[in-house]
Structure 1
Amino acid sequence: MSAPAIDPTKVAAAAPMPDIMPPVKARKGFWGFMYRNPTIAVGGTILLLMVLMAIFAPYLGTTDPTALAPARRTREPSAQYWFGTDMLGRDVYSRVIYGARVSLFVGFAVAICASIVGLAIGVVSGFVRWADGIIMRIMDGLMSIPSILLAIALMALTRGSVGNVILAITVAEIPRVSRLVRGVVLSLREQPYVDAAVAAGTRTPIIIWRHILPNTIAPMTVQATYVCASAMIVESILSFIGAGTPPIIPSWGNIMAEGRALWQVKPYIVFFPALFLSITVLAVNLLGDGLRDALDPRMAKRL
């Protein structure tokens, strides 16, 4: 027996349910990325301001940072001398602004050089099994020496210059980058797609270029920010103890080294370069933390 037909005109339709939660509008593009990653926005903005300050130093009301004026030495901060003058009458404000060029250049140069060399060493060590033991023992030997002591030892063999400082700090930072890359490569070479490429007869350089290198860029980028911050600190330490850049070059470490004798009576000579160094290192570390959270899918923020 068939069921009776239902008249559609006599069926009551339920009222639509109200939206309890409004739809979420996802922000896209550059500003959306910055909104989702405020740490990158803050750190990147501060670092960008420091870079612009270093580039446009001659247009920021500065004078010759090496000009001596004994008649105006140890002047307190004022409207004429914003950060005061040092024991030789040089404008501390101009020296601090120009000093950003040295510290940022050293930090960026060491980060780039250490990342490139460390990437090459880490990839070869992690993927080529027979070379792993030899290369890593050398890296372990370098890592057993504190980076600052290794940099001091290398600087003792050369004369003080910005290039030699970059070389010394780079040699000290390479083992840390190579260790990180090696750990990433060791996990990647066991992936099924790498095994499939090997089974298909793909040559090792092609496998490294297509499957290994792209997956090491994210962690290496994060590590490069920490290397940059560490390099700026080490450069300041080397200059502070007289083993870094020549005293004639205005760097934050040299300024602090020259003002330490008058620290108790003229603390501003040391305070301002130390403040700028701290802010710059903080900005780089904030940028690195933000990149780590943004590039790591396990720590990415989800709506």
Structure 2
Amino acid sequence: MTVSTTRTVTLPPGLVIAPQLPDLLRPVKIRRGVLGFLRGHPTVAIGSALLLCLVLVAIFAPYLGTVDPTALAPAKRTRAPSADFWFGTDMLGRDIYSRVLYGTRVSLTVGLSVAVLASLAGLAVGLVSGFVRWADGILMRFIDGLMSIPPILLAVALMALTRGSVGNVILAITVAEIPRVTRLVRGVVLSLREQPYVDAATASGTRTPMIIMRHILPNTLAPMLVQATYICASAMIVESILSFIGAGTPPTIPSWGNIMAEGRALWQVKPFIVFFPAAFLSVTVLAVNLLGDGLRDALDPRMAKSL
């Protein structure tokens, strides 16, 4: 014998049960840590993987079958790539494989250092210029003057006043890249300072430095982080250009620009001297740009594909 548990509800006259509404919103996907973030943004994953490999190459260069990158061997000059010399040798008999791997240290050091220093300096100037109205005219006229000079020419001019070294290259490129960050941060701050929560903080008597640190600064970090990746890539290219024309790192320090400059005279007969450092430079810049594009898509809510 089966007992039915279904109850019949009797409604008062004039009342009916409304039908169930369809789901209008897509189900929310819960992100599961770093791996979930990388799965949702493959561009970030690819760029990060390439950049991590290059960082490991730079750190462990002495343990990757390299020799002294400055050791001269005139009897072995311009050797083609082989089992003994994987990337061949240059005009002075130096191992190109070792020089390219050690040159990774120079390029990554310059790129990351310039990105950090230019971002911090540009952030400070952009915050003050964008929020303090009376300082905006003074600071931005100086920034406009720097932006009127092409970055590569400004870096060459600054290097002409100093001696060639990695530190001076970082300083010269940083000065040339600060205006880009300053312009970006200033534009973000100009839109943020008109928000109601900033007006409320000002009306409640909050001091300007506290408003900048608590309400303005956190909202500028995401676009500045994306801009820092592009500055890193640009700094590595500028460093290679400076070294290529003889205005960057000294010849005693192996860098991709130096290697390409020394091999340009033999490009038609020994193209491998230029090819390998150029390939490493292209892959490094590609990795940084992929990381920047992925972070832009991930941090911009308008470009997010899912919640």
What's the TM-score, normalizing by structure 1?
A: 0.92
Local SS of the residue matching 1:298: helix
Q: Could you tell me which residue of structure 2 aligns to residue 148 of structure 1?
A: 152
2:130–2:187 Cα contact (<8 Å) kept:
yes
Match of residue 265, structure 1, among 260, 265, 269: 269
Match of residue 296, structure 2, among 286, 292, 296: 292
In 2, the alpha carbon distance for the partners of 1:159 and 1:59 equals 31
Matched, 1:40 2:55: no
The percent identity for this pair of structures is 81
Matched, 1:278 2:301: no
* Residue 27 (structure 1) shift: 4.5
In 2, the alpha carbon distance for the partners of 1:274 and 1:153 equals 25
- Structure 2 residue identity aligned to 1:236: S
Q: Could you tell me which residue of structure 2 aligns to residue 170 of structure 1?
A: 174
In 1, the alpha carbon distance for the partners of 2:29 and 2:142 equals 52
Q: Could you tell me which residue of structure 1 aligns to residue 256 of structure 2?
A: 252
Matched, 1:93 2:100: no
In 2, the alpha carbon distance for the partners of 1:294 and 1:146 equals 31
* Residue 57 (structure 1) shift: 0.2
* Residue 47 (structure 1) shift: 0.3
Match of residue 51, structure 1, among 50, 55, 58: 55
How large is the RMSD of aligned CA atoms in angstroms?
1.4
Deviations, residues 6-47 of structure 1 (Å, cap 9, x unaligned): x97697xxxxxxxxxxx8864511110000000000000000
Q: Could you tell me which residue of structure 2 aligns to residue 240 of structure 1?
A: 244
* Residue 301 (structure 1) shift: 1.7
Structure-2 change in CA distance of 1:202 and 1:264 (3 Å): same
In 2, the alpha carbon distance for the partners of 1:54 and 1:114 equals 23
Matched, 1:76 2:85: no
1:36–1:301 Cα contact (<8 Å) kept:
no
Gaps of 5+ in 2: 9-26
Gaps of 5+ in 1: 1-6, 12-22
- Structure 2 residue identity aligned to 1:119: L
1:150–1:172 Cα contact (<8 Å) kept:
yes
Q: Could you tell me which residue of structure 1 aligns to residue 187 of structure 2?
A: 183
Deviations, residues 221-252 of structure 1 (Å, cap 9, x unaligned): 00000000000000000000000000110000
- Structure 2 residue identity aligned to 1:178: T
What's the TM-score, normalizing by structure 2?
A: 0.91
* Residue 213 (structure 1) shift: 0.6
Report matched runs for 1:215-230 at 5 Å. Answer: 215-230=219-234
Kindly tell me the number of residue pairs found equivalent between the two proteins.
Answer: 286
Matched, 1:302 2:285: no
Q: Could you tell me which residue of structure 2 aligns to residue 194 of structure 1?
A: 198
1:68–1:89 Cα contact (<8 Å) kept:
yes
